[in-house]
């Protein structure tokens, strides 16, 4: 059983169900190629989706977990999302424990107006706004819905020197979803965690962030 408290379920019954679910996933998944640090994140995404293909589709930049935990533990790190669903899905008490703040701009009036004027997507303009506001550098960026947001973020990293702490590259879909993830995975300068192919979604971004918070709490307890 985990010694974590902040990132665990709030009731004994809830904790038991979650831990039993993790044990079932471990048993059914069998051997895998992930490290002891990577597997809890993959397992939590399987738990959120009941999709065992996350075991194999999930890819990690070599520095992803180290960078992600460091960003959580330093406190005050922004979490920038492509859609509101990610921000709503994240546990407020867990975010508060680490002083994390959430940001999304997909529904901002100026973002909508710019997308209409340029004939592009709101997701692209939302990433551009986050850059203008200075929230992308050092942020944990979670993209679960909009491939164009991920493509724009990759461009900002390559061409404009934007440096998030970690990118969760998990947009779901059929148009440019797989390609946007490949573009992100081709970048070495910024750590990322990606789901290859068409699968992904906001739920999986939330699960991945919650897994990072759990790993960070365990690291806090070790340091204490």
Nearby residues of 14 by Cβ (< 8 Å), 6 or more positions away = none
The answer to whether 176 and 196 are in contact (CB under 8 A) is: no
- Long-range interactions of 134-137: CB distance < 8 A, separation 24+: 135/78, 135/80, 135/103, 136/80, 136/162, 136/163, 136/164, 137/162, 137/163, 137/164
Of all helices (H) and strands (E), which one includes residue 157? helix 147-160
Q: Which candidate, 122, 123, 77, 88, places its Cα nearest to that of 206?
A: 88
Is residue 47 among the annotated active site residues? yes
* H helix or E strand, kind and range, residue 47: helix 39-49
Catalytic residue among 19, 47, 97, 210: 47
> Catalytic positions, please?
47
């Amino acid at each position: 059983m985990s010694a974590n408290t902040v990132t665990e379920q709030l009731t004994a019954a809830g904790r038991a169900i979650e831990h039993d679910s993790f044990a079932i996933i471990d048993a059914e998944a069998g051997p895998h190629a992930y490290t002891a640090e990577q597997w809890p994140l993959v397992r939590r995404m399987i738990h959120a989706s009941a999709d065992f293909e996350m075991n194999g589709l999930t890819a990690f930049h070599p520095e992803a977990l180290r960078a992600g935990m460091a960003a959580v533990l330093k406190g005050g790190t922004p979490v920038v999302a492509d859609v509101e669903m990610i921000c709503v899905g994240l546990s407020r008490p867990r975010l508060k424990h680490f002083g994390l703040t959430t940001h999304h701009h997909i529904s901002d009036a100026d973002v909508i107006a710019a997308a209409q004027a340029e004939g592009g997507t709101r997701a692209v303009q939302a990433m551009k706004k986050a850059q203008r506001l200075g929230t992308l550098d050092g942020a944990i960026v979670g993209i679960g819905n909009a491939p164009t947001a991920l493509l724009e973020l990759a461009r900002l990293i390559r061409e404009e020197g934007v440096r998030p702490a970690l990118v969760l590259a998990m947009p779901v879909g059929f148009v440019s979803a797989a390609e946007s993830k490949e573009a992100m995975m081709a970048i070495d300068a910024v750590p990322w965690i990606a789901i290859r192919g068409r699968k992904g979604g906001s739920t999986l971004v939330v699960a991945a962030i919650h897994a990072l918070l759990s790993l960070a709490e365990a690291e806090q307890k070790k340091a204490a």
